[in-house]
Amino acid sequence: MFRKIFAAAIVVLLVLSAKIAAAVPVDWSKAPRIGTKAELAHYIESERRNGETTFCVVLTNGLKTENYKDFLTLAPVPHVDISWTYYPGGTAHVTYHIKEYPGTRVANAYLRGNIDWLSRDELKLYEIAVGIVNEAKKFSSPAEKERFIYEAVCKRANFHSEDNMKNLPNFVTAIGALVDGQANCQGYADAFYMLGRMCGLNVGRIIGNDDAHSWNWIELGGKVYCVDVTKGDTLIDGVTSYVYFNAPLEIMRGEHVWQWEVMPALQEKIDGRYAYRTIEGLESASSAEDGLKLIAQKFADENAKVVRVMTPFDERFSEVNVQQAADYVVNELNARNCAVTFTVNVFECGDYLFFTGVVD
């Protein structure tokens, strides 16, 4: 379903030029020599954080980035001009010139303490972002800050997509997400990136799913996890989801496609920083039956309105058998002499099921 939803969600305006993009001749002897995609992605991100929009590099080991797909895997941007000259032996002189997202510009301005060069719309975004960040900074731990900004984006933004995406419309940026309240996946990712950096977190962006979906990465404790705010806001109608909050590779591979080798430090297995291990109110159970029993118990004994539980996969209660999951909860409630009107949502991801019980 999400592959279809996001099929038109990424705007990419690419111009390939045979001419050298830089107005000043480049001293290629001083340009960085880069031989892997991971190194190139790290270099471009670090330069963007310095406010740079033009990058001149010498690619080695036969590394190529001739087209928009090659570049977007490394650095999600709304527009890029690329010029290149290849030489025998697998080296190339390449110049990239990008148009930047408002979220990057606002984060850079905030961290430098200079907003003079922001546009009128970016100043509106800046004002809202500072308010969110000031509240987030009241929390002591990075994980608490991260959760606050994740939920802030979900509260302000509603998913929006349309085919006409010329000239970088607001909804593909943080302006759409936080100012207008309408954003596609790019807008969600731009907002989370901006707020995360303003909070002092090390975050970045990813475009995957055949250039049709955007999400974020975050570094916590020396490990890298993925955060998909868009799906957190749309996966289960009316209830913020945390299925892709600090998700490792084993979770991400369920619905996300990307060249994962670009980020070799990405955590492979669920650990203590995954949402269902760390956030109060998110539960895990050793079996699907135990998870459904937990939903019933919290409805009956704690008057809970929303219960989220992660369990190992069990085909009896999978997405196609959601009614069986609901019936199981009903039977558990009957055994407790408790009548509750509720719905149960089920989401499959790899070897796991995610149940969300919501009292009507």
Q: At residue 16, does pLDDT exceed 80?
A: no
Average pLDDT over residues 17-33: 70
162 and 91 within one domain: no
Buried/exposed code over 56-65 (b: 16+ C-beta within 10 A; e: otherwise): bbbbeeebeb
Give the Cα separation of 285 and 240 in Å (integer). Answer: 20
Examine the fold and report which residue of 263, 278, 293 is the final residue of a domain before the chain moves on.
278
Average pLDDT over residues 96-123: 96
Examine the fold and report which residue of 55, 71, 99 is the final residue of a domain before the chain moves on.
99
338 and 273 within one domain: no
Q: pLDDT-derived band of residue 281, with 50, 70 and 90 as boundaries?
A: confident
Q: What is the pLDDT of residue 5?
A: 33
CB atoms within 10 A of CB 111: 13
Q: What is the pLDDT of residue 69?
A: 81
43 and 54 within one domain: yes
- Residues of the chain with pLDDT > 90, as a percent, come to 78
Does 3 reside within a domain?
no
Residues 111-167 have pLDDT tens digits of 999 999 999 999 999 999 999 999 999 999 999 999 999 999 999 999 987 766 566
Q: pLDDT-derived band of residue 351, with 50, 70 and 90 as boundaries?
A: very high
Q: pLDDT-derived band of residue 19, with 50, 70 and 90 as boundaries?
A: very low
Q: pLDDT-derived band of residue 10, with 50, 70 and 90 as boundaries?
A: very low
Does 1 reside within a domain?
no
What's the count of helices (H) and strands (E) in the chain, helices before strands? 13, 15
The Cα angle at residue 231 between residues 225 and 237, in degrees rounded to 5: 145
More confident residue, 86 or 247: 247
Q: What is the pLDDT of residue 7?
A: 33
Question: Which of these ranges, 165-169, 266-270, 340-344, has the smallest mean pLDDT?
Answer: 165-169
Instruction: Specify the DSSP class assigned to residue 63.
Output: -
151 and 250 within one domain: yes
Q: pLDDT-derived band of residue 67, with 50, 70 and 90 as boundaries?
A: confident
The Cα angle at residue 254 between residues 71 and 267, in degrees rounded to 5: 70
- The domain of 200 spans 102-278
264 and 292 within one domain: no
Instruction: Specify the DSSP class assigned to residue 95.
Output: E
Mean model confidence pLDDT for the chain? 90
Which domain CATH number covers 147? 3.10.620
Torsion sign across C-alpha atoms 55, 56, 57, 63: positive
> Do β-strands 223-227 and 213-220 pair in parallel, antiparallel, or remain unpaired?
antiparallel
Average pLDDT over residues 335-341: 93
290 and 272 within one domain: no
24 and 128 within one domain: no
254 and 162 within one domain: yes
Q: At residue 212, does pLDDT exceed 90?
A: no
- Residues of the chain with pLDDT > 70, as a percent, come to 91
Number of domains in the chain: 3
Q: Which amino acid is at 226?
A: C
Q: Which among 243, 274, 248 has a CA at the least distance from the CA of 263? A: 248
Which domain CATH number covers 336? 3.30.110
Give the Cα separation of 135 and 129 in Å (integer). Answer: 10
- pTM for this predicted structure: 0.89
Examine the fold and report which residue of 49, 83, 99 is the final residue of a domain before the chain moves on.
99
322 and 218 within one domain: no
290 and 269 within one domain: no
Q: Which two tokens stand for residue 156?
A: 């302000």
Residues 294-303 have pLDDT tens digits of 999 999 999 9
Q: Are 153 and 177 spatial neighbours (Cβ–Cβ below 8 Å)?
A: yes
Q: pLDDT-derived band of residue 21, with 50, 70 and 90 as boundaries?
A: very low
Residue found by looking up tokens 């199981």 in the block: 328
Average pLDDT over residues 59-74: 87
Give the Cα separation of 188 and 13 in Å (integer). Answer: 19
Does 4 reside within a domain?
no
